[in-house]
């Protein structure tokens, strides 16, 4: 491990993966953080599991991947509360417009949004979506609401989007996301 990333060793990050086509990049984010000896625990929405298999992220994180709020665990406490309590950072990458809306309005229909509501950890969000969806006033209001709550945002890139349009909405690079995590734990 590089000396400049020693401050990350053993830090517990819950990586939330929502159903953007960019969900496949979560494997690279996870891999880089694990190389820096971050303890990564992945939580996926059901939509994300249609894009990337949980086994991929389980292998990369070296931890089980949580996808279902109703999974029966061997211990007595609900798994989502354990993850929410133990997180030192909740990183959502990628975050869809739907996920942003759930967070902004306190809706909790899935495991990831339950963890969001239950954690006291800092929240870092990397949006990825169609540029028109990103620019929509409702999405912009949801982002403003989340920023007012003190959540940090990793701005999406400009480029060719999965929908075929060129514009802003592409998930920030793995390097930028991982560096943001590193900077968070330095401060």
pLDDT digits over 91-112, tens only? Answer: 999 999 999 999 999 999 999 9
pLDDT at 76: 47
Contact (CB, 8 A) for 30 and 62: no
> In which element (H, E) is residue 79 found?
helix 79-86
Q: What is the mean pLDDT of the chain?
A: 92
pLDDT value of residue 74: 56
Q: Decide if 30 is catalytic.
A: no
Residue 13 has pLDDT above 80, yes or no: yes
CATH number of the domain where residue 138 is located: 3.40.50.1950
Which residue range forms the structural domain that includes residue 160?
3-186
> CA–CA separation, 115 vs 85, rounded Å?
9
Beta-sheet strand order (sheet of 152-153)? 39-44, 12-17, 89-95, 123-127, 152-153
Which of the following is catalytic: 144, 158, 160, 163? 163
What are the residues whose beta carbons fall under 8 Å from the beta carbon of 80, sequence distance 6 or more? Answer: 66, 69, 111, 114, 115, 118
Its pTM surpasses 0.85: yes
Number of domains the chain is built from: 1
């Amino acid at each position: 491990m590089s000396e400049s990333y020693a401050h990350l060793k053993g830090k517990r990050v819950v990586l939330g993966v929502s159903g953007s086509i960019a969900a496949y990049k979560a494997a690279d984010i996870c891999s880089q953080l694990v190389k820096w000896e971050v303890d990564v625990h992945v939580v996926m929405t059901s939509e994300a599991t249609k894009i990337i298999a949980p086994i991929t992220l389980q292998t990369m994180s070296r931890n089980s991947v949580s996808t279902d709020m109703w999974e029966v665990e061997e211990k007595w406490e609900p798994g989502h509360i354990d993850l929410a309590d133990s997180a030192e950072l909740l990183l959502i990458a990628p975050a869809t417009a739907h996920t942003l809306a759930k967070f902004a309005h306190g809706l909790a229909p899935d495991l990831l949004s339950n963890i969001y509501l239950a954690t006291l950890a800092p929240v870092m969000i990397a949006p990825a979506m169609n540029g028109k969806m990103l620019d929509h006033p409702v999405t912009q209001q949801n982002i403003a609401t989340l920023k007012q709550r003190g959540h940090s945002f990793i701005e999406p890139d400009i480029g060719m989007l999965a929908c075929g349009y060129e514009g802003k909405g592409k998930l920030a690079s793995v390097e930028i996301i991982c560096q943001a995590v590193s900077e968070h734990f330095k401060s």
